[in-house]
Structure 1
Amino acid sequence: MNVEQAEIVAESKQVIYEGFKKARVPKDAAGILVDEHYGIRILRDAVQHGIITAVSVEKSGQEEFDFEYGDDFALHIEAINPTFAKVLVRYNPEGDRAMNHRQAQRLKRLSDYLQQTQRLFMFELLVPAEEQQLESLDNDKDAYDTQLRPKLMVQAVQELQNAGVEPDVWKIEGLDTRADCEKMVEAARRNNRNNVGLIVLGRGASRDRVVHWLQTAASVPGFIGFAVGRTSFWASVVAFEKKQLSMEQAAEQIAKNFEEWCQVFETGKHAVAP
């Protein structure tokens, strides 16, 4: 990526941050996630203004988790001093065992450091389908999401915990049923991990799907929030980059979307359990 492209990416992230700041939501219950490379100015501003921050520490786009800054990961966390250090990890318990073991070792190192320095740990868990898993379901990705992924997510959480990985917040893919959400909370909080929270991802899915995921999760104690990124900001950022919207207009749209997701989640909290 050249300098001009990097500036465009950084400016697009600034648009999203402006939208976040405009959103009429309690700032002590909302936060931002951004990487250090393109979002350092945002992170510094957010920390200065007491905004909850999460900073990515993984190499972006890798199938196997590794640290963005190698052995210097702690120095970067300390320099920024975010509320949460956050990782995105692809971990399928029925996948490559050697890779899962390597990932777990690196993640334990991070977890131990964060506990020792009294910093918070956010873990974004993705459980991508293995080829044989999809084949067993006639390559039906929706069937994987509803029939296999929920139990694999529980298994992944338990394996990582057993390896010494102890997040404060699990950030997980949306689940279609309340029962599966309850099983995830049970796994995340097992063995007296009573303060562990969960937030649900939007995964860039359609609005209807995201609404269902958020409302289902919100109705289950233990789910404390959501992370809906692309569905909230993608169209506005693209329009801004094409100069179809000003930064102010794009930020207003993003703020409105974020407010709507907050309302969806709050409504889900008060849903009557079936």
Structure 2
Amino acid sequence: MTPRGFTKPLYILPFDHRGSFQTKMFGWKGELSTEQTAEIAKAKQVIYDGFQKAIADGVEKEKSSILVDEQFGAAILRDAKAQGFHFAMAAEKSGQEEFDFQYGDDFAKHIEEFKPTFSKVLVRYNPGGDATLNREQAARLKRLSDYLQGAGQALFMFELLVPAEQEQLDHFLGDKTAYDLELRPELMVKALEELQAAGVEPDVWKIEGLDRREDCEKIVATARQGGRDNVSCIILGRGEDDAKVHEWLNTASGVDGFIGFAVGRTDFWDPLVNWRAGKNSRDEAVAEIARRYREFVDVFEAGKKA
């Protein structure tokens, strides 16, 4: 299959969190009731309203996007489509170490129903980990990749997480920061290469924050090797604080091939928690989410100009 790619600016507000949202934001376990599902959907609507306010306040619509799940965000997906927003839709089952489809063999029907701009997967893939698991994941991902290229229903967005294997972490005496700086970038390059060799062809790679410009450059070079000239990368926030996210945005924005970001929890988590605790109003939560999103856009665009 010929890689397609996406090269326009892309600033994503992701709130496709499901398992973590249910347990950490709401403190609920097990199967949800209809009322609980509606309560989570209501909270996600606050985030979506913040996104819309940011655009109303001046963030360019063509550069903006949301990422949300069908389970709690079906109404939002439909509205985003009606309003002509770029939007990405999660295809993976939430809260699993191993990638699998949220809706099993029916994954294509759900993509065709909503027709998102991007079909997104989150995948934990460490080249130094379980080789059998990696092959099995790659086979499922190739199935989605082939479908998206053949059907043309959506572009393919791939969120790559490379969690440390215990042996790798032990090498750094348990220091995750050292692992992130010294080994993870190398493993990410190798993961891209292995997935490409397995026939997995994303249009956009979502990449965990990188501290060094040269590591960002290596990731882009790998993503675009072999004629994949229009494949691009975006940086993700990993729920870090504002200062760290600003660092990552500044680093990535100066590298050709990094077209934007996906920053979610750093944007919406505190405003939502405060709203649910009665510390601020719904309007205040919406306004704060919009302000934070605009701030990340401004940081990335300033870095691009610099």
Task: Output the TM-score relative to the length of structure 1.
Answer: 0.98
Q: Which amino acid aligns with 2:67?
A: L
CA deviation after TM superposition for structure 1 residue 87, in Å: 0.2
1:74-89 aligned at under 5 Å gives the runs 74-89=108-123
Question: For residues 142 and 2 of structure 1, what CA distance do their matches in structure 2 show?
Answer: 39
Question: For residues 131 and 83 of structure 2, what CA distance do their matches in structure 1 show?
Answer: 43
Q: Which of the residues 177, 182, 186 maps onto 1:147?
A: 182
Please list the CA deviations of residues 149-190 of structure 1 after superposition, one character each: whole Å capped at 9, or x if unmatched: 000000001100000000000001000000000000000000
Please list the CA deviations of residues 45-90 of structure 1 after superposition, one character each: whole Å capped at 9, or x if unmatched: 0000100010001000100000000000000000011000000000
Is the aligned partner of 1:101 residue 2:132?
A: no
Please list the CA deviations of residues 2-59 of structure 1 after superposition, one character each: whole Å capped at 9, or x if unmatched: 2232122111110000000000310110100000010000000000010001000100
1:127-206 aligned at under 5 Å gives the runs 127-206=162-241
1:36-51 aligned at under 5 Å gives the runs 36-51=70-85
Q: What 5-or-longer segments of structure 1 have no aligned partner?
A: none
Q: Which consecutive aligned stretches of 4+ in structure 1 deviate over 3 angstroms post-superposition?
A: none
Q: Which has the higher contact order (CA 8 A, sep 6+)?
A: 2
CA deviation after TM superposition for structure 1 residue 242, in Å: 1.7
Q: Which amino acid aligns with 2:118?
A: F
User: What SS does the corresponding residue of 1:237 show, helix, strand or coil?
Assistant: helix
Moved more, 242-251 or 60-69: 242-251
Q: Which of the residues 231, 241, 244 maps onto 2:276?
A: 241
Question: For residues 41 and 146 of structure 1, what CA distance do their matches in structure 2 show?
Answer: 40
Q: Which of the residues 100, 113, 126 maps onto 2:161?
A: 126
Q: Which of the residues 51, 60, 64 maps onto 2:98?
A: 64
- The CA RMSD over aligned residues, in Å, is 0.7
Task: Output the TM-score relative to the length of structure 2.
Answer: 0.87
Residue 220 of structure 1: aligned partner: 255
User: What SS does the corresponding residue of 1:245 show, helix, strand or coil?
Assistant: coil
Q: Which of the residues 10, 32, 49 maps onto 1:18?
A: 49
Please list the CA deviations of residues 126-159 of structure 1 after superposition, one character each: whole Å capped at 9, or x if unmatched: 0000000000111100000000000000000110
User: What SS does the corresponding residue of 2:183 show, helix, strand or coil?
Assistant: helix
